[in-house]
Structure 1
Amino acid sequence: MIQTLRLRAKSRTHIFKQAAKMEYLKFLIPALLASAASEMINYKDCPNGDNGHATAVRISPCPSQPCSFNHGQTVNVEIDFTPRNDSDTLESKVYGILAGIPVSYPLPNADACKDSAITCPISKGQVLTYKSSFDVLQSYPKINVVVMWQLNAGKSNQACFTFPMAIV
């Protein structure tokens, strides 16, 4: 009888501990998912009035601006935009603006029709979200720079924006 009561007490204690763990996970998992989600950033349209416009830009990790990235880190980018014309192609181009001069940064996945969430051909007026990621390589210098990101369909620019970032 005493052993049965002890087993029941241990069983209740075990149940309470499990319930406490479950309660903890109920708050931890959404917090982790939220921190993994891309953050909306402030950005500027490219200065040339001929450029298309992004409607929203999300970068992760970028909890505050300027976005700071560490060597070895993977950066995720999402760009919402509406194409200005129909096209069978879409290419992503990235530049670092150094002393006012755009210096090309070659993306390993520049063909947005193959390597993002976009299926080509694209249609004028269709709301699209471009998704990509890149690694901050050890060979990159520690630098503060303004980044210019373009989505081009042939010679027509579909979206262009700039934002400040730092490699630390």
Structure 2
Amino acid sequence: MRLFDSEIKRCQAALVSTRLEEATQRKRKGKSNMDVRTGFVVLFCLIGLTCADPVKFKDCGSSSGKVSMVDITPCASQPCELHKGQSYSVNVTFNSGVVSQTSTAVVHGVIAGVPIPFPIPIEDGCKSGIQCPIQMKQQYHYLNSLPVKSEYPSIKLVVKWELKDDNKNDLFCINFPVQIVS
């Protein structure tokens, strides 16, 4: 979080400095290409703000693969705050330990130890950024969305996300905490 705060302060300082230079330049020789420079500073600040730390997760039994990174966008803090009525991008980078013709995603919200099915738009992993058939010892980037319905309660919970191979074994199984907010 300190990195995020320092990035904001640095961007603010750069923007103020650029605006002062722009005003000085306009006084000297009229409007110049300072607007372009200001645009680049703002663009780089926005890029810096979107670069967040990977999500902290726990492996929950990936028997057919190994997860190297989980990223949820947007997620500025952990646990990720999921706003009702919005959809979030979930990107899981993993290495496969098996060959599989298919892959199927299964998602649950775990509340007080009880798994509750959490519907996602695309259950077929082969339509979620993975080129099937899945090969052994290959790295894959699974990408799906996590829609948060307006009728969900405001609550802290753990999301359990599994991607299963042909034999119903987990290519990956991850748990990560979230908080649903209004």
TM-score interval, normalised by the smaller of the two chains:
0.7 to 0.9
Q: Does the C-alpha gap of structure 1 residues 43 and 149 become closer, same or farther in structure 2, counting only changes over 3 Å?
A: same
Q: How far apart in 2 are the matches of 1:26 and 1:43?
A: 34
**Residue of structure 2 in register with 1:12 after alignment:** 29
Q: How far apart in 1 are the matches of 2:27 and 2:173?
A: 63
Unmatched runs of 5 consecutive residues or more in structure 2: 1-25
The one-letter amino acid of 1:24's match is: T
TM-superposed CA distance for 1:85, in Å, is: 0.7
**Offset from partner CA, 1:73-129 (integer Å, 9 cap, x none):** 220111011112101101111111122121111211111112x11111001111101
TM-score (norm 2): 0.77
**Residue of structure 2 in register with 1:121 after alignment:** 133
**Residue of structure 2 in register with 1:45 after alignment:** 59
| Number of residue equivalences | 155
1:82 aligns with 2:95: yes
TM-superposed CA distance for 1:136, in Å, is: 1.5
Unmatched runs of 5 consecutive residues or more in structure 1: 1-8
Write the mapping of 1:78-157 to structure 2, written as runs, cut at 5 A: 78-114=91-127, 116-154=128-166, 155-157=168-170
1:24 aligns with 2:38: yes
**Offset from partner CA, 1:12-50 (integer Å, 9 cap, x none):** 3122xxx2211111111122234445641111111x474
The one-letter amino acid of 2:125's match is: A
Which has the larger displacement, 22-31 or 156-165?
22-31
**Offset from partner CA, 1:51-91 (integer Å, 9 cap, x none):** 64311101111111110011122201110111121011011
Higher Cα Rg, which structure = 1
* % same residue: 34
The one-letter amino acid of 1:59's match is: I
TM-score (norm 1): 0.83
CA RMSD of aligned residues (A): 2.1
